[in-house]
Amino acid sequence: MRRPVHRFDLLTIILHWLIAALILGLIILGFVMTRPSIDPVLQFSLFQWHKSLGMLALLFAMARFVHSVIRVRVEPVGGMKPLEHLLAKTTHGILLALSILVPLAGWMIASVSPLEIPTFAFNLIVVPHLPVPKSYAAETWWATAHAVLAYSTLALVFLHSSASLYHHYWRRDDVLTRMLNKERRLIEPSAKEPTS
Q: List contacts with ligand HEM (CB under 6 A).
A: 12, 16, 19-20, 23, 26-27, 30-31, 34, 50-51, 54-55, 57-58, 68, 77, 88, 92, 95-96, 98-99, 102-103, 106-107, 109-110, 119, 143, 146-147, 150, 153, 157, 160-161, 164, 175-176, 178-179
Nearest distance in Å: CB 95, ligand HEM: 4
Count CB atoms within 10 A of the CB of residue 101. Answer: 19
Is the CB of 1 or the CB of 54 nearer to ligand HEM?
54
Q: Cβ neighbours of residue 143 under 8 Å, at least 6 residues apart? A: 109
Nearest distance in Å: CB 110, ligand HEM: 5
Nearest distance in Å: CB 51, ligand HEM: 4
